[in-house]
Amino acid sequence: MATLNIVKDGDEILRKKSREVTVPDPRIDTLLDDMKETMAKAGGVGLAAVQVGKLRRVIVIDTGEEQLELINPVKIKEEGVQEEIEGCLSCPDRWGITRRPMKVEVETLDRKGKKRRVKGEGLLAKAICHEMDHLDGKLFYDDAIRMLTPEELKEYEEA
């Protein structure tokens, strides 16, 4: 496994739409493994392939309670609303309040190419939606309710 460079806000690749994976293969396995290592070292909850410079519809998520690999995820269902603080490994030092569904269900492929459905609630739902936005060239602050000032972020961290 290797640690990859995380692309930062301002790089035009983050605004591009990622391509579907036709058939998962050993290159996708390697990408998934490298993305997990990169995300763990960076202290993130989720990472989309575009964030490491690969325009593929591939996501890894680790909430501490659940670990997911999503290939070509498609949102099937969402319900409820949560308004929470959100940040991004590609947008360091930027935090905002976002509106995401409380629950989400997606259809995805696993690394063997098998279709499956994944349900997420709370933090997992937020992470799935955040990373899926990356696949379409969207960043969390595009639709943020509002961005936090450095003072507000400090208050949040102290609370």
pLDDT tens column, 91-131? 998 999 999 999 999 999 999 999 999 999 999 999 999 99
Residue 47 lies in domain:
12-158
Indicate which CATH number applies to the domain containing 34.
Answer: 3.90.45.10
Confidence of residue 158 (pLDDT cuts 50, 70, 90): confident
Residue 110 lies in a domain: yes
In a domain, 114, yes or no: yes
42-93 residue pLDDT tens: 999 999 999 999 999 999 999 999 999 999 999 999 999 999 999 999 999 8
Catalytic residue among 69, 86, 105, 131: 131
- Active site annotation includes 131: yes
Question: In the predicted model, is pLDDT for residue 154 greater than 90?
Answer: no
* CB distance 72 to 109 below 8 Å: yes
**Residue 19 resides in a domain:** yes
pLDDT at site 156: 79
φ, ψ for residue 55 (rounded to 5)? Answer: -85, 65
Structural domains of the chain, count: 1
What is this structure's pTM? 0.95
- Please check whether residue 6 lies inside any domain of the structure: no
Is residue 152 exposed (0-12), middle (13-18) or buried (19+ Cβ within 10 Å)? middle
